[in-house]
Amino acid sequence: ALRKLLEHLWKHHGYRRMAWVSGPRRNQESQERETVFLEYLKENGLPVLPGLIHEGNFQRSSGRAAGRELAKTREAWDVVVAANDLMALGLQEILGTSAPITGYDNGLASRQAGLTTVDPQLALQVQTLLERPRESSSPTGVDGRLVIRRSCGCHPVAEPQHQAFLAADPFG
């Protein structure tokens, strides 16, 4: 689902210069998300700008720290993609809500802040795990879904192509 988010940022908004705030490098989820981010940029001929890749720790404070660094180079990036919502909210505290910022998790705070994010659909993943045969070791096959709100630069209520996303999100 992170690919869906990146596709939206590039194809809908035209954001080419994407900054990234990862989780801890030793965390498997963080590594997977960063790999998807970097692969997407390379596959689509978008620049990978090393000065715009920051390591966080999935905490709001690391989003603020990355935000302070990114504020110094505001003209170098179009959007900041954070590996989770807490860091994205920390970024918003420093960069403001007019800077395009996205997250990943779709937690309650992101809903209240109007954060564009990815909902990993954890409840559906758990349900799928519980319903499959015990001997199966394959992934659940449940993909996250893109939740479009204001923080990416969209005005979802005014843009009909986003109504399906809003309708699917009871907290949107």
- Scanning the structure block, which residue is given the tokens 């978008």? 46
User: Which residues does the chain have with pLDDT short of 50?
Assistant: 123-127, 129, 138, 140, 142, 158-160, 162-172
Query: What are the E-state strand segments in the chain?
Result: 18-22, 53-55, 79-82, 101-102, 117-119, 145-147
The per-residue b/e assignment along 79-103, b for 16 or more CB within 10 angstroms, e otherwise, is bbbbbbbbbbbbbbebbeeebbbbb
Q: Which tokens go with 118?
A: 């990815």
Q: Percentage of the chain with pLDDT > 90?
A: 70
Q: How far, in Å, CA of 131 to CA of 144, rounded?
A: 18
* CA 40/CA 20 separation, integer angstroms: 12
Handedness of CA 76, 77, 83, 85 (dihedral sign): positive
CA separation for the pair 88, 92 (Å, rounded):
6
pLDDT score recorded for residue 96: 96
Cα 46 from Cα 30, distance rounded (Å): 21
Tokens of 120: 């990993």
Res 50: pLDDT: 86
pTM of the model: 0.82
